[in-house]
Homo-oligomer: A and B are copies of this chain.
Amino acid sequence: MEQLSARNILKGTIKEVNKGPIGAEVTIELSGGIELTSFITKASAERLGLKEGVEAYAVIKATSVMIGKD
């Protein structure tokens, strides 16, 4: 799959993977030091071989992004 409708595909490096019995919490560091946290299944974290230092992407559908303001 070379293209995806998701509007937000951001390159980064996995910083931490914290696995539970079903879910996993994955932190990815984007350029500029921005960190994003993701909740995926443990099965996906293992299938993709996610661990600290692995290059990866955060992928986010536009309908899932909210906007806040001060």
Contact = CB atoms under 8 A, between A and B. Distances in A.
Interface string A33-52: 11011111101110111100
B63 A58 contact: no
B60 A67 contact: no
Number of copies: 6
A23 B20 contact: yes
Closest 7 CB pairs of A and B: A32-B32, A64-B64, A20-B22, A38-B65, A57-B68, A20-B21, A7-B37
22 contacts: A1-B1, A3-B70, A5-B59, A8-B37, A9-B68, A10-B34, A22-B24, A22-B39, A23-B23, A25-B41, A25-B62, A30-B32, A32-B33, A38-B65, A39-B62, A40-B66, A45-B67, A55-B69, A59-B68, A63-B63, A64-B64, A64-B65
